[in-house]
Amino acid sequence: MSITTPSQTHIDPTGYAFAVAGAILFSTKGIFIKLAYAHGVSSEMLLSLRMLVALPVYLVILVTILRREDKLRSLLTPRIVLASMAVGVLGYYLSSYLDFLGLNYISAQYERLVLFTYPFFIVLFGVWFFGDRMVWGVVPAMLVSYAGLLVIFGWNMAVNPDGLVLGTLLVLGSAITFALYQHLAKRQMVVIGAGLFTCIGMSTAGVFAIGQNLIIAGPQSYFTLTPEIWGYGLALGVLGTVLPSFLMNAGMARIGARATSSTAALGPVVTIVIAVIVLSEPFTIYHGIGTVLVLAGSVLFTRAENKARRQGR
């Protein structure tokens, strides 16, 4: 049986505003990663830099919340804490790591379009594992979006096939794990709230990411980094992590995982514009056709979802 939220019966403008703002900020992540990769930094190092910046922020906010909210402290049973930590590792460490690895092989704009398919996995996981009813009206939307991805995939395969399949699979894995995270996170946030859950989950993911790089490269590796790489790590931590994670989770707590995922249409557009201008990535007629199809699928998906909610399905 699925969780019923207020968003199923009325539109929450604030929730949608949070979700849209989070999606736009998250869309800058791939740009900063690509810029850092140009300086030869590894995926593990860059992910750890992102978390080095973000972790202190989440820890400070976590302590502040626990000091001010007596009721929330009483909710933090070992089971809830461990579950929140595990969900955070899934969404903010594993999903992010797969995405970082994938960006070694594919362009920032293609990566964002592949990630943009995660709402479809949210629907499927909701039906398979969480008791949601299938909204068959979203199936045509899914087909349209994947047709768009195939257009861009085909162009890349013809022009620069090296690592394309591996990169696509890695980012697709990121989308799948993030979709599962959203379902699980929603259930944790119902109990302890979006802010507290975000701090616990992200802090745990940060420890995993930093620990991974310390094991692989050692603590001395941080002293060899240039100011540019530290700058990209700072941008990833603040603009690509802290702000959007709170905005996205606040939106999810108000309107639910499905509705939150359907607001992400601006993300690929922002990524494409920045990637073309800053990274000089190509944007051909094939990219245009593929992008239009992916975004059109998102619009159809949103309409089908809204229609199903109005009908109480």
In this structure, is residue 40 part of a structural domain? yes
Cα 133 from chain centroid? 24
Q: Distance between CA atoms of 71 and 244, rounded to whole angstroms?
A: 26
Q: What is the pLDDT of residues 127-176, one digit of tens each?
A: 888 877 877 878 888 889 889 989 999 999 998 899 999 999 999 999 99
In this structure, is residue 213 part of a structural domain? yes
Q: What is the mean pLDDT of the segment spanning 271-287?
A: 91
* Domain assignment of residue 255, given as a range: 12-310
Give 23's contacts (C-beta < 8 A, 6+ positions apart): 244, 248, 263, 264, 265, 266, 267
In this structure, is residue 5 part of a structural domain? no
Q: What is the mean pLDDT of the segment spanning 55-69?
A: 89
In this structure, is residue 119 part of a structural domain? yes
In this structure, is residue 143 part of a structural domain? yes
Amino acid at site 158: A
Q: Distance between CA atoms of 172 and 106, rounded to whole angstroms?
A: 12
In this structure, is residue 4 part of a structural domain? no
Q: What is the pLDDT of residues 238-261, one digit of tens each?
A: 888 888 877 887 887 787 766 776
In this structure, is residue 251 part of a structural domain? yes
Number of compact structural domains in the chain: 1
In this structure, is residue 2 part of a structural domain? no
Q: What is the mean pLDDT of the segment spanning 75-89?
A: 93
